[in-house]
Structure 1
């Protein structure tokens, strides 16, 4: 760590090499960083899925009940 200048970054981000799979599983700091990253991604996916599900419900169910079906437009000559 003496080679890398002290710029305020934490020690877990000062590693200059690529971690192997074993090191990623064993190193608790790296595992914790990975868990935070995965939790953020999972929460974003859950939020996007729930928003899409709500929009689909509004478009397909509530819109058809509130107004007439668009596919049955009557033709009056």
Structure 2
């Protein structure tokens, strides 16, 4: 019984260490995410063209201008 308790104790210690490692990694990733989000918000506020869900820029105004220009000889 004592051997089983020792094994369970060691497994518990390992899980606690792994949990702490993952908690630190999650904190680091959250900080990176916040920094990237802040950078994106700054870029968007400076007037960068908006992107659709696929990351493509919206060229609605330029495409209508191009269609007018294509009719020229």
**TM-score of the superposition, structure 2-length normalised?**
0.50
Bigger share in helix: 2
**TM-score of the superposition, structure 1-length normalised?**
0.48
